[in-house]
Amino acid sequence: MNTHGQRTDSERVVVTGMGWVTPLGHDIETVWGALMRGECGMAPITHFDARTFPTSFAAEVKGFDVAPQLKDPRAHSTAGLNSQFALGAAAQAWAQAGLSERPARNMRRVGIYLGAGEGVIDTPNYLATNLGAWDPAIGKTNGVEWAKLGHSLMGAASEIEQEPNMPLAHIAREFGVRGPSYNCLTACAASTQAIGEACSILRGAEADVMIAGGAHTMIHVLGITGFNRLTALSTAGDDPTTASRPFDLTRGGFVMGEGAGMVILETLSHARSRGATPLAELIGFGSSADSYRITDIQPEGRGAAAAMLQALAQAGIDPRGRRPDGRPWVDYISAHGTGTKENDSIETLAVKRVFGELARDIPMSSVKSMLGHLIAAAGAVEFITCVLAIERGMLPPTINYTTPDPECDLDCVPNTPRKAQVDTCLSNSFGFGGQNDTVCVTRFVE
């Protein structure tokens, strides 16, 4: 594959629209403003009664109504929370890209690549069915009783909405998309992977425009239970707003978030043909698998480093080189930075492995300190923060940073945002299960 600089306009991929629905707001300006003020979206969980759970707080999306953004809200009346977030973010991105006024040449060459998670379980009815059919005398579920309860308690719409490709189906329907469409689910890496593969589809001339991103919520009984049992969630609940502490010595796990991030990617030649304004250019993507253990990250950061190196190679960037003015070629890394002991120290190690001595000169912050961890949607939201950092010359901070950790000794932009010349960023996402993805985005230059 040609590296950046050797690509033709039909191989260059630009971002022309962005949108997000997050715990800190439902549009680009509101959320960016909150990030620049170091605000935090965490609070006690309201989606269900979590008061006695080891973790009773999360970063929930508040007061969001997708209907005003839709052409025909009735067409999406069955949409679950996941799909609503996806539709809201996609509608913003579609609008910013001006795809209604200056449409794509051919809707068969408009595709979708999402990293969306499964929909929300119909918890009360699902659990009522399972508990009602359980026969404690024999220690087994009574199948006939389960079928009877399941058919009567659960409903078609909410069950089908749990399929992970439903956000994609809703978006296709809303915008009339008929090109290549995928949903991937590689846990926390999903939407970064979606953006990367969407870029690959565009470069391979399979499409002119791709809607890419992710949506997810796991703030439900079984989601919080699952991560609590894995001891991956922060349980420091005295003040939820200080619970997510990436790179800090006192960090104790991530805080669950929810929401969606979507971007419009298109080939430069297509963007030019319809007069769209490039916001940034996507120049590199790397993907790897840890291939190590089910529960642990490869301790030397092998997989994470491989993803970063592959993205940089595709971008034509020498990680050990400097620009003529002395700056590293990468100005900012949006860290995966979950706030778990293991992730943050290994990510630090991996970044050093890639950039060597230069690693210390590259700011690397985690917006998960403010937004929580949007799981499958995290990567897309963080990609958008990279584009905004380039556009506005500001770096979002890592808040709640109080105690340095010698194993996380890079510049995490502690506590306050920073003005900076930002031309090129990496965005890292590492999935539970070992999938690692990095994308490289840069300022668009003709």
Partner 1 sequence: MRHGAPRTFVTGIGPVSGFGLGIDPLWKGLCDGVSAIRPITAFDASGFVTSVAATILPEHFDIRSIVPKSHRKATKVMARDIEIAVAAAHTAVHSAGLTTKGTAEGVPPTIPPDRFGCHIGAGLIPADADELACAMFTSRTPDGKFDPEAWGRTGMPNLTPLWLLKYLPNMLACHVTIIHDCQGPSNTITCAEASGGLSIGESLRVIRRGDATACLSGGAESKVNYMGMLRQTFAQRLARVPAGASGTEAVLPFDPTACGTVLGEGGGMLILETEASATGRGARTFAEIAGFGASQCCCIDTVGGDLSGAGEDIAAALECALDDAQVRPEAIDAVVPFGSGIPSIDAAEADALRRVFGARAGSLPLVTIAPQAGICGAGASALAACVGAKCVAEQKLPARLNTKGSKALGVDADARAACAAQLRCVVVMTSGMGGQTAAIVMRRVP
Contact set for partner 1, span 412-441 (CB under 8 A): 431-435
Q: Which phi and psi (to 5°) does residue 427 adopt?
A: -125, 120
As measured in angstroms, the least distance from the Cβ of 77 to partner 1 is 10
405 touching partner 1, by CB under 8 A? no
Contacting partner 1 within 129-188 (CB under 8 A): 130-134, 136, 139-148, 150-151, 154-157, 159-160, 162-166, 168-170, 172-173, 176-187
Query: Is 373 annotated in the active site?
Result: yes
Which residues does residue 348 pair with via DSSP β-bridges, in sequence order? none
342 touching partner 1, by CB under 8 A? no
Given the complex with partner 1, which of 157 and 250 has the nearer CB atom?
157
Residues 257/22, Cβ–Cβ less than 8 Å: yes
Considering only 3, 36, 43, 48, the residue that binds partner 1 (CB under 8 A) is 48
Locate 344 and state its tokens: 């943050």
Residues 265/212, Cβ–Cβ less than 8 Å: yes
Closest CA to 79 of 173, 186, 176, 179: 173
Indicate the DSSP class of residue 108.
Answer: G
Given the complex with partner 1, which of 231 and 277 has the nearer CB atom?
231
Q: Which of 4, 26, 216, 336 is catalytic?
A: 336
- Which of the ranges 298-306, 354-362, 363-371, 418-426 carries the binding residues for partner 1, by CB under 8 A? 298-306
Considering only 4, 26, 203, 336, the residue that binds partner 1 (CB under 8 A) is 203
As measured in angstroms, the least distance from the Cβ of 271 to partner 1 is 21
- Which of the ranges 221-229, 234-242, 256-264, 318-326 carries the binding residues for partner 1, by CB under 8 A? 221-229
Size of the site for partner 1 (CB under 8 A): 101
Closest CA to 309 of 167, 438, 157, 179: 438
Locate 377 and state its tokens: 């949607």
Residues 89/289, Cβ–Cβ less than 8 Å: no
Contacting partner 1 within 251-290 (CB under 8 A): 287-290
As measured in angstroms, the least distance from the Cβ of 155 to partner 1 is 7
Locate 190 and state its tokens: 């999903």
As measured in angstroms, the least distance from the Cβ of 177 to partner 1 is 5
Residues 119-129 as b or e (16 or more Cβ within 10 Å = b) = bbbbeebbeeb
310 touching partner 1, by CB under 8 A? yes
240 touching partner 1, by CB under 8 A? no
Considering only 13, 87, 197, 244, the residue that binds partner 1 (CB under 8 A) is 197
379 touching partner 1, by CB under 8 A? no
Query: Is 425 annotated in the active site?
Result: no
Contacting partner 1 within 15-34 (CB under 8 A): none
Distance between CA 164 and CA 86 in Å, rounded? 12
Q: Which of 184, 188, 199, 408 is catalytic?
A: 188
* x-or-dash string of contact with partner 1, 58-97, rule CB under 8 A: ------------------x-xx------------------
Contacting partner 1 within 101-120 (CB under 8 A): 108, 111-112, 118
Place of tokens 């894995």: 230
Interhelix angle 81-96/166-175, rounded to 10 degrees, is: 40
Given the complex with partner 1, which of 121 and 399 has the nearer CB atom?
121
346 touching partner 1, by CB under 8 A? no
Cα separation values, 79 from 67, 185, 263, 307, 375, Å? 11, 19, 20, 34, 20
Given the complex with partner 1, which of 95 and 221 has the nearer CB atom?
221
Locate 87 and state its tokens: 């539709």
Query: Is 188 annotated in the active site?
Result: yes
Indicate the DSSP class of residue 137.
Answer: T
Given the complex with partner 1, which of 303 and 397 has the nearer CB atom?
303
Give the pairing type, strands 332-334 and 280-289. Answer: unpaired
Closest CA to 111 of 216, 7, 264: 264
Distance between CA 182 and CA 169 in Å, rounded? 10
Q: Dihedral sign for Cα 4, 263, 188, 23, please.
A: positive
Residues 185/197, Cβ–Cβ less than 8 Å: no
Considering only 29, 74, 291, 446, the residue that binds partner 1 (CB under 8 A) is 291
As measured in angstroms, the least distance from the Cβ of 290 to partner 1 is 8
Q: Where are the beta strands (DSSP E) in 194-269?
A: 209-217, 258-267
Closest CA to 113 of 20, 40, 220, 191: 191
Considering only 71, 222, 277, 323, the residue that binds partner 1 (CB under 8 A) is 222
Given the complex with partner 1, which of 204 and 404 has the nearer CB atom?
204
Residues with a catalytic annotation lie at 188, 336, 373
